[in-house]
């Protein structure tokens, strides 16, 4: 019943026009704060999704690496375990090592990553190949360079001369002849990929068997990369793999664990922005305090009548607390509608540009999540209750002042 009183007090015309103005100023302040919070969180969601998509093109859902040394060998039990485990869609074996790449008179240090035919199924790196292609199904000595490495070498998919890779030999003995301490192999540039600066300036991809020959590591691997079936829980598969591979000196990591620092930074920035904008909402809620104070002065007669009819102090306090919540919810609803309109227009037309052609996206990405709406509604209600508590408490403590004329 007190919500009915609250709604009637909010929408009814007040005897003093100033109260109406202050009431809608309060609604507008909450609406602007809510819209700003939703829009900024949606932009953060858009950037977070965009960055995750970039990294998801390179990092697998599950990655198995050795805990001792750089490489390991597989045996029948490992292969059998991976094939029998439900939820695994594809498995790729990879080998990577730092090498020196030479093209003409230019050189660059790079990490060459040997990948098998299943690698494009496990990741989406082939979708990031902007020039040429990435197809290692044939037996040719081919390589796909990151854009940063390609620029350092001055090489591209149209290059006629091969890129030469130099790597130290896998030798345990002392070799006094420097010419015999490294091996080399020529690769024709098949394509150039453009993903993310850190990756583009570090990695080059080549067929697994050719990299194994270059490094002298015939049946050795740096990692086993796994793609999961849709809807499969990565943490559950990790636990099962860890149990199957125990005592093998192998570590199992999910995509989150492979990029823990990145995800931690994204989450901390998100919550920092939420905290700052929530503080702005709290400051804006002081308008509600003024609105309720003036409304209580106008409704003194109603308060006295309700108290005379037997209403408790608690009931009176709930009426004005509910009025505070109603004002906040109306403002939050208007703000949510404004935020949705902005998100739709930005998604369709991208009128807010980043202002620099060097970015991978031209305009600010937006991605609205229903969890943000729930979080902000809860935040607004809590702020409204805090703002309205003191005026509501004062209203409930007012003495009965009915006069008979």
Instruction: Classify residue 403: in a domain, yes or no.
Output: no
* CA 172 centroid distance within chain: 45
Asked whether residue 401 is assigned to any structural domain, the reply reads no
Residue 109's CB is within 10 A of a number of other CB atoms, namely: 12
Does the model's pTM come out above 0.85?
Answer: no
Looking at the predicted structure, is the pLDDT value of residue 352 above 90?
Answer: no
Residues written for the chain = 405
Share of the chain above pLDDT 90, in %: 30
With 0-12 CB in 10 A as exposed, 13-18 as middle and 19+ as buried, what is 13? exposed
Residue numbers of the domain that contains 47: 2-55+262-396
More confident residue, 317 or 345: 345
Dihedral of alpha carbons 206, 199, 190, 121, sign: positive
Pair (319, 374) in one structural domain = yes
**Residues linked to residue 102 through DSSP beta bridges, in sequence order:** 107, 164
pLDDT tens digits, 277-309: 888 888 878 778 777 777 777 666 766 666 677
Q: What is the pLDDT of residues 59-83, one digit of tens each?
A: 899 999 998 888 988 877 777 778 7
Task: Say yes or no: 139 and 151 in one domain.
Answer: yes
Is residue 343 a contact partner of residue 36, using CB atoms and an 8 Å limit?
no
Q: Note whether 107 and 230 are same-domain residues.
A: yes
97 and 187 inside one domain: yes
The answer on 51 and 168 residing in a single domain is: no
Q: What is the pLDDT of residues 364-384, one digit of tens each?
A: 888 988 999 999 999 988 988
If asked whether residues 193 and 214 sit together in one domain, one would say yes
Which of 258, 274, 291 is the last residue before a domain boundary?
A: 258
pLDDT the model gives residue 170: 62
pLDDT score of 231: 87
Q: How far is CA 385 from the centre of its chain?
A: 32
Assigned token pair, 40: 């900024």
What per-residue confidence (pLDDT) applies to 405? Answer: 44
């Amino acid at each position: 019943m007190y919500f009915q009183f609250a709604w009637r007090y909010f929408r009814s015309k007040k005897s003093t026009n100033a109260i109406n103005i202050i009431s809608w100023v309060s609604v507008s302040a909450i609406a602007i704060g809510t819209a700003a919070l939703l829009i900024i969180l949606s932009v953060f969601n858009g950037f977070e999704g965009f960055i995750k998509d970039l990294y998801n093109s390179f990092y697998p859902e599950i990655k198995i690496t050795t805990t001792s040394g750089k490489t390991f060998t597989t045996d029948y039990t490992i292969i059998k375990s991976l094939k029998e485990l439900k939820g695994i869609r594809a498995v790729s074996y990879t080998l990577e090592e730092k090498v020196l790449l030479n093209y003409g008179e230019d050189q660059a240090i790079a990490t060459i990553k040997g990948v098998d035919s299943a690698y494009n199924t496990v990741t989406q790196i082939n979708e990031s190949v902007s020039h040429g292609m990435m197809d290692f199904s044939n037996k040719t000595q081919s390589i796909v360079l990151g854009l940063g490495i390609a620029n350092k070498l001055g090489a591209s998919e149209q290059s006629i001369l091969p890129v030469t890779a130099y790597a130290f030999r896998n030798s345990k003995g002392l070799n006094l002849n420097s010419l015999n301490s490294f091996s080399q192999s020529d690769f024709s540039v098949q394509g150039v990929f453009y993903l993310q600066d850190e990756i583009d300036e570090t990695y080059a991809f080549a067929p697994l068997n050719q990299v194994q020959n270059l490094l002298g590591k015939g049946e050795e691997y740096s990692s086993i990369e796994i793609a999961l079936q849709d809807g499969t829980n990565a943490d559950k598969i990790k636990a099962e793999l860890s149990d199957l591979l125990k005592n093998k000196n192998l570590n199992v990591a999910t995509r989150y664990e492979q990029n823990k620092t990145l995800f931690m930074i994204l989450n901390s920035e998100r919550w920092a922005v939420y905290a700052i904008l929530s503080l702005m909402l709290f400051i804006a809620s002081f308008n509600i305090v003024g609105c309720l104070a003036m409304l209580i002065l106008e409704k003194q007669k109603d308060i006295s009548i309700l108290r005379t009819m037997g209403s408790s102090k608690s009931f009176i306090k709930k009426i004005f607390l509910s009025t505070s919540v109603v004002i906040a919810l109306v403002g939050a609803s208007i703000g949510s509608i404004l935020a949705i309109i902005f998100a739709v227009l930005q998604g369709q037309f991208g009128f807010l540009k980043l202002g620099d052609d060097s970015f991978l996206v031209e305009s600010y990405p937006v991605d609205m999540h229903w969890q943000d709406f729930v979080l902000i509604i809860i935040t607004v209600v809590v702020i409204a209750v805090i703002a309205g508590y003191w005026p509501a408490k004062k209203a409930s403590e007012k003495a009965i002042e009915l006069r008979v004329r």
